Amino acid sequence: MRPELSAIIANSTTVANNRYTPFHIDTGTTARFSLRPIGEGTEIPQLLVTEQKHSISVPEYGLGLKASYKSLKYRTTAQFRVLLWYIGFKMQADKIALVIDCLINGDGNTNPAEKINTAVSGTLTYDDLINLWAEFAPFEMNAVICHIGQLKTILTLEEFKDPMAGYRFQNRGELFSPLGRPWCAVMMFPPI
């Protein structure tokens, strides 16, 4: 229902209880990640993988559907299906909000996302977006998450006023992204 969710999570795990302890990779020394020749009989460089210091508390979620007999008496199955679809759509939006909150604030293991500021406080330019994109190197940015209000600001930048971009948006509803990544516009969080 919300394809944005699969664009912003790398993996999901089914857990049997309310605690989960992910593993931790020590990325402090980049030399450990480098492929380099080793001499005969020398020790091979190793990458240390351990458990996080703190486990993550997995909250339980639920939603009950309470309806009066009269509200459902003369409804068709198709109408009820639309109601269930809306509930599922809203629950997926809530999941996206939880994932974004984890990205921004971390999972409780002092690991929030690094903040990258614009060149001029309170102003977003195309150069700022390019700098954000460059910060991901050597990794690839796969989605841009922003508040819907901020997305409107971005789409009015001069660099986004390409006539073909306008055509694609007006013809198929595809938002143009010069960064080559899909937009994930959310309304749950205030603009950053």
Q: What's residue 189's pLDDT?
A: 45
State the Cα–Cα distance between residues 153 and 158, nearest whole angstrom: 11
26 contact partners, CB below 8 Å, separation of at least 6: 32, 47, 48, 50
Element at 93 (helix H, strand E): helix 77-105
Q: What's residue 63's pLDDT?
A: 84
Q: What's residue 191's pLDDT?
A: 44
Put simply, whether the predicted model's pTM sits higher than 0.75 gets the answer no
State the Cα–Cα distance between residues 133 and 6, nearest whole angstrom: 20
pLDDT digits (tens, 9 = 90+) for 33-54: 677 788 888 888 777 888 888 7
Res. 188 pLDDT band, cuts 50 70 90: very low
State the Cα–Cα distance between residues 69 and 136, nearest whole angstrom: 54
CA distances from 157 to 122, 136, 184, 187, 190 (A): 15, 22, 18, 20, 20
pLDDT surpasses 80 at 141: no
Query: 122-125: long-range contacts at Cβ-Cβ below 8 A with a sequence spacing of 24 or more?
Result: 124/150, 124/153, 124/154, 124/157, 125/157
Task: Return the number of other C-beta atoms located less than 10 Å from residue 145's C-beta.
Answer: 20
Asked if residue 11 lies in contact with residue 105, where contact means CB atoms within 8 angstroms, the answer is no
Q: Which stretches of 67-190 are assigned E, i.e. beta strand? A: 144-147, 183-186
State the Cα–Cα distance between residues 129 and 170, nearest whole angstrom: 23
Return the structure tokens found at 101: 């909150």
Q: What's residue 119's pLDDT?
A: 92
91 contact partners, CB below 8 Å, separation of at least 6: 63
Mean pLDDT of the chain, nearest integer: 78
